[in-house]
Amino acid sequence: MLIIGDTWQWSRTFSEFPPSEGWTVAYYLNGPVDLTFAASVSGSQYSVLVAAATTAALTPGTYQWAAYATGSGSYAGQRFQITAGVFTVIPNLTTAAAFTTHEEKVLASLEAAIEARAAGDFESYTVGGAGGSRSIQKIPIEKLLALRAIYQQRVWRTRNPGKLGPIMAVNFGPPS
């Protein structure tokens, strides 16, 4: 996992593609936001330094990445994928409030609507009289509760990637 707003830094040696023979290495990230950055050369190693300001522009999620070696000189025109993988980018805890997902926002709205309905809000009503009236009909409470269950599951899935579902206690009674 990598954290949004942090500096990312690493060094790698790719013995098949030494800098001394004219190879360069670049990394490509593909996910909610795409990003490309080149590795600098330090002796026989390729070093990467991604500034905090650059990672601050990313969004949480799963990213695929790949590193490519590109040749020059006698290797001009050659390009090889040399390594690849997948990683997760997570919000920085100091700014996590800025990363409320759509599902979390909808869930909060549904819970507010259910709470308002429980406090005496009406499902439908009519306003007006002889000159014309207007009727307002709100989402039925049963539908709000069903939507809340759907969005609770979506929020849980977002917060618990790769897990099948929440752990539930189950009791089996005696056979009938």
The C-alpha R_g of the chain, in whole angstroms, comes to 27
Partnered with residue 125 across adjacent β-strands are 136
Q: Are strands 124-129 and 2-3 parallel, antiparallel or unpaired?
A: unpaired
Whether 129 shows a pLDDT value over 90: the answer reads no
Report the C-alpha gap between 154 and 108 in whole angstroms.
Answer: 13
Element (H, E) at 107: helix 102-118
CA 15 vs. chain centroid, Å, equals 34
- Which SS3 state, helix, strand or coil, does residue 115 take? helix
Mean pLDDT is highest, among 6-10, 58-62, 135-139, for 6-10
Q: Are strands 40-42 and 2-3 parallel, antiparallel or unpaired?
A: unpaired
Q: How confident is the model at residue 124 (pLDDT cuts 50, 70, 90)?
A: low
pTM of the entire structure? 0.55
pLDDT averaged over every residue in the chain = 87
Mean pLDDT is highest, among 85-89, 156-160, 165-169, 170-174, for 85-89
- Which SS3 state, helix, strand or coil, does residue 38 take? strand
What is the per-residue pLDDT across 16-66, written as a single tens digit (0 to 9) for each? 999 999 999 999 999 999 999 999 999 999 999 999 999 988 888 899 999
